Structure formats: C-alpha cells, structure tokens
Amino acid sequence: MSGARSIAAKDIGQQAARGERRGVGPSVARALLTATFVGARGVAMGGGELKVALVGCGKIADGHVEQLGKLGTLARLVGVCDAEPLMAEQLATRFKVARHYHDFDRMLEVERPDVVHVTTPPAAHRALTERAFESGCHVYVEKPVTPSHADTEALVLGARSRGLRLTVGYTYLFDPPARAMRELIASGVIGEPIHIDSVFGYDLGGAYGLAMTRDGDHWAARLPGGLIHNNADHLLNKIAEYIDGDEPRIYATGARRGGGERMPEELRVLICGDSVTANGIFSSAIRPVLHSCRVYGTKDTITVDLHARTVVLAVGQRIPSALGRLLGAFDQAAQYGREGVQNVIRFSRSEFSYFAGLEHLMRLFYESILKGTEPPIADRQILWVSRAIERMNEALMVERGRSPHEEGRRA
C-alpha cells in the first residue's frame, strides 16, 4: 500500500496517555506511541474512491451494503463473500454487486480491496480480520469485535503495528441524537460528568430476536455471555469515554425470566471509576423497548432517547415558588417540540433512517483512511468496552456458580 503518513506525535501521546488512564493497559499504550497509518492502495491523500469488500452475508450485511450505496464516490463495493455460496449470490443479486465469492482469500486476491467489512458471527472475526490485515486492508468489524478481550486486543495491536485502521460497529453511537449528546457534553453545557445511566432494551419477538430464540444453536447463544454479550457493546459504548481511572470496579447481576440453564436475558451492572459512576440496564422484558442514556453533570443533566431521537436537558426551578414548579413542564414541552421539528427536518433530508448512524460511522471511517487521520472510534474505547464485557461476563458466571471455562463448554 502507498501513501504512508505519520500521526502527529502529540496526538499519539495524548491517546496513549488517555489509554493508560482509562485502563487500556501499558502494552497497548506503548503501541500507540509507535503508530503510523497507511493510506489506501493507489489512492491519493485527501481524495479518490476506496474499494470495499464484505465478508459475511447475513442480516446485518444488507444494512452495510445499503449505506455504502449512499456514500457516492467515497467508496465502491467490489465484492461480497460468504462460506455459503447462495448467501453471497443472493446479496450480490439484491444490490447489483459485480462479483460474489465463497472463498475469502480468493476475493482478497482478485479484488485487492482497500477496506474489508467483517459481518460474520463473532467467532470468525479474529481470523478474517487478521487475514485482511495481512492483505493490507483496513477493517470495519461488526460488534462484538471478538468473543474474548485477548483476541480483541490482538486485533487492535495488529492494526496499529501495520499502520492500518480498525473500527467497530458502534452504529447507535453515531446516530444524530448520540452525536448531539456528546457535542453538548464536550461544550461544557452539563459541566463535569458525574454519573451515567445507560439503558438498552431488546425485543425477543423482533426479527433478530426470533432468529436466536428459534435456533438453540444460534451463534449468539454460543457467545460467552449469550444474548447479553451480543448487545453489551450498545449498552457500554456510551459510558466508556466518561469513566475515569485505571481499573474501574464492575458489579453485575443477571436473571433469566422463567429460569433455565443458559445465560441470563436481564442484566444490571454498576461501574465505578475514580470520580464517575454508571448504571447499565439490559432488558428483554421491559416495555416499551427502551434505548436511552442520561448523563448527570455538575451544571445540568442531559437525556437522550435513541428510539424517539430526542435530546433534552433537565429543567431546574428558576423561580422559587409554585410558579417555578409549574413552568418546568412547559420548558420540557418546548424542548421536545423543538426536537420533533428537528426530526421532521431530518426526515425530509432522508437522514432519519434506521441505519443513519451506520452511514455516518462508515463515512467518518473512510474519510480517516483517505485523510490520514485517527479513526472515529479510539482504540482505547474499543478495548475498554471489550474488557468491561469480559469482566461483566465473569461476574455473571460466578453468580451462577460457574467458571468462565465451564460456561464456554456449555455455550
């Protein structure tokens, strides 16, 4: 690959320092200090069209291909691959992709892509991603990155050692309301974050839920943490950038409604950093199905509803009387009214789709490749989430009187 360019030493040093503070670990932090990034094959810095290939033609692959089609001349899908040839052929036919493969190595050899999207079940992520790295490709991998923290760390270090970029499918984190929340927090509107409440609901009767519940041998059921493991990234990635300290304490408890031997479908987790704490709730039973995040700060509190796509600030009592209490409801109503109008505008601009966050993340990732900048999701955030999931799984297994090794055999 051509067009290698170094990241500014100041930026790398800052990211390494943040990695140490957020519990990433010294080995990864040291790797950040020696990083250089490599551009795409034959693509001039600041311009060009990236060649993209995709491996794994299941449900989520449709979303990736659909959003790729919205990126114009930024990227072009040159091939899709699946171990089941019919799956690859059907995806290619639906989206008019020129070529499809059942041999990943063959696709890499023929198409020579700049970027590979790995959308297979997680058990195959490490091997496929490493093979893509060996071919000089940047990689977008679906969550969870891998079933284990050790494998995830190996991929992060592998990308850095080759000057390549790795990003993960934290799509909700790039939905418009989540971006607005982070921008408001960064601007200092709420002051210093003190506590975060993150809620992620799951509908077992939905398209993805039914696929797993009807198949006792579904790949998600075989993850160390089962259903929760497959969705914990969405619960935790909104917390990761605000928890401080080298080794945050994680307390988790789970339950399976109706009992049974498999891993739980309900999760409650408490995370304690040095000065910031967080609660996480994963639930397949709470109705309506919720997806929200609330960040409490020293100046204000912000609440994001990722289903309704609203972002509102708490209403303090500005007038010390019954009138002050009365006005609060109107203040909240005004905020929700403005959010509703903003959503109508997004809808009119075709920016209100289910995969809006996926499109934005892909765009940022591709632009980082072309411009030689840091990828949209920091390595330390990927590693923090991965480590938190592993520690959470360990706590749930201990709660059920099992070792992680034993649970792995049962899954």
In the chain, what are the domain boundaries?
43-169+359-385, 173-354+391-397
**CATH homologous superfamily, domain 173-354+391-397:** Dihydrodipicolinate Reductase; domain 2 (3.30.360.10)
Alpha carbon distance 87, 95 (integer Å): 13
Give start and end residues of each alpha helix (H) in 189-252. Answer: 207-213, 226-236
Cβ(37)–Cβ(372) below 8 Å: yes
Rounded to the nearest 10°, the torsion over CA 240, 241, 246, 250 is -20
**Phi, psi for residue 185 in degrees, rounded to 5:** -65, -45
Helix axes 149-161, 379-399, angle to 10 degrees: 170
Helix axes 26-33, 9-21, angle to 10 degrees: 170
Instruction: Give the pLDDT score at 199.
Output: 98
Mode of pairing for the β-strands spanning 193-201 and 277-283: parallel
Find the angle CA(28)-CA(32)-CA(35) to the nearest 5 degrees: 135
Position 183, amino acid = E
Instruction: Give the pLDDT score at 263.
Output: 61
Instruction: Give the pLDDT score at 213.
Output: 77
Cβ(189)–Cβ(30) below 8 Å: no
- Digits of tens for pLDDT over the chain (411 positions)? 333 222 233 343 344 444 444 455 555 555 554 455 555 554 544 557 999 999 999 999 999 999 999 999 999 999 999 999 999 999 999 999 999 999 999 999 999 999 999 999 999 999 999 999 999 999 999 999 999 999 999 999 999 999 999 999 999 999 999 999 999 999 999 999 999 999 999 998 887 788 777 887 889 888 999 899 999 999 999 999 999 987 899 999 998 775 555 567 899 999 999 999 999 999 999 999 999 999 999 999 999 999 999 999 997 766 677 777 788 889 999 999 999 999 999 899 888 889 999 999 999 999 999 999 999 999 999 999 999 999 999 998 888 776 554 544 343
Nearest Cα neighbor of 377 from 120, 80, 165 is 165
Instruction: Give the pLDDT score at 3.
Output: 32
Q: Quote the distance between the C-alpha of residue 279 and its chain's center.
A: 18
Helix axes 59-68, 356-371, angle to 10 degrees: 60
DSSP string, 161-189: HTT--EEE--GGGGSHHHHHHHHHHHTTT
**CATH homologous superfamily, domain 43-169+359-385:** NAD(P)-binding Rossmann-like Domain (3.40.50.720)
Instruction: Give the pLDDT score at 218.
Output: 86
